Amino acid sequence: MSAQPKHRTVWSGLQSEDEGSEIGILGIPFDRAVSWRSGTAQAPDRIRTLTPHLAPFTEEGVLLRLRIRDYGNVEPDLDWPRYFARVEQAAEQIIAGQHKLALFLGGDHSVGIPLFKAFAKTVSGPVGYIQFDSHADLCDAFEGHPWSHANTARRNIEQPNLTYSQMAFVGLRSFLSEEIDIKVANPAMGWHTARDIYRCGIEAIAKQVVAQMQGLSAIYLSLDIDGLDPSCAPGTGTPEHGGPSTRECLEFLRLLFGQLPIRAIDLVEVSPPLDISDMTSLAALKILYEVFGFVQENIATI
């Protein structure tokens, strides 16, 4: 019997304990803030479980040589404010470290609240926020709570170094009236619907986002898997049809990483119990491995 390929380990053999690893990963297995179907708490571990089945190459055949330090999960407890404080503290340490990119695996989208708070505290000066999502998550409260996964972007705008003109939303196709009011009141905010992507093309949308984010020293990217069309990502709690494909998402990210200083990412709302043959978890992993390639491409020493 032949030996297993070298990549048949977590993160395809790229895992390292080196504090200088190019990628730092943290899981936030939390789904108490969903408004419909749950299961996203299982995503960080399910995604890790699938990584030995992916070879460490980009889709264009580039061997991944960067190192990944996985810090494990911030395990939930029953005290929601205490848990978010722990997430913020753990994220702050990773963002302030030597990694080129901090990567956070949700969990529902509410985990982006303490994650972005940590980012805004750690990075000096104005920051950018890009959200790939079918929903804007701009409600002040949803179902009686300010920390619902429908409130993430609204809580993030409360940080002093972020303004609406430094926010961009891509893939939108489901709205609440409060969010439309915010959009009308803030015309400098990036607002790109799924139909905009269909009519103009993802490259044109990416160029608009890049132009909007010029001059910022650090950008946080939030990737809600329901930004993809459910045909590509069925395993999510609030799917919305009519969205962009995985291919369009990859091209969007390729352009962003080539021209913008993205320093942190969250990938949220993958729900393994709702998935079909791990399609959604594998879509998330495809995105992550291409992101690894984009980071590697920008580091001349690797």
Structure tokens at 47: 């995604």
Integer-rounded Cα Rg, in Å, for the chain is: 18
Q: pLDDT tens for residues 155-178? A: 999 999 999 999 999 999 999 999
Q: pLDDT tens for residues 127-161? A: 999 999 999 999 987 777 776 768 899 999 999 99
Confidence at 300, pLDDT banded by 50, 70, 90: low
Quote the pTM value.
Answer: 0.95
Q: pLDDT tens for residues 242-280? A: 999 999 999 999 999 999 999 999 999 999 999 999 999
Q: Smallest Cα–Cα separation from 243: which of 154, 292, 289, 174?
A: 174
Contact 228, 270 (CB under 8 A): no
Confidence at 6, pLDDT banded by 50, 70, 90: confident
Q: Which helix (H) or strand (E) holds 43?
A: helix 43-50
- Per-residue pLDDT at 141: 75
CA distance linking residue 73 with residue 155, whole number of Å = 23
Q: Enumerate the domain spans of the chain.
A: 14-297
CATH number of this structure's domain 14-297: 3.40.800.10
Q: Looking at the predicted structure, is the pLDDT value of residue 33 above 70?
A: no
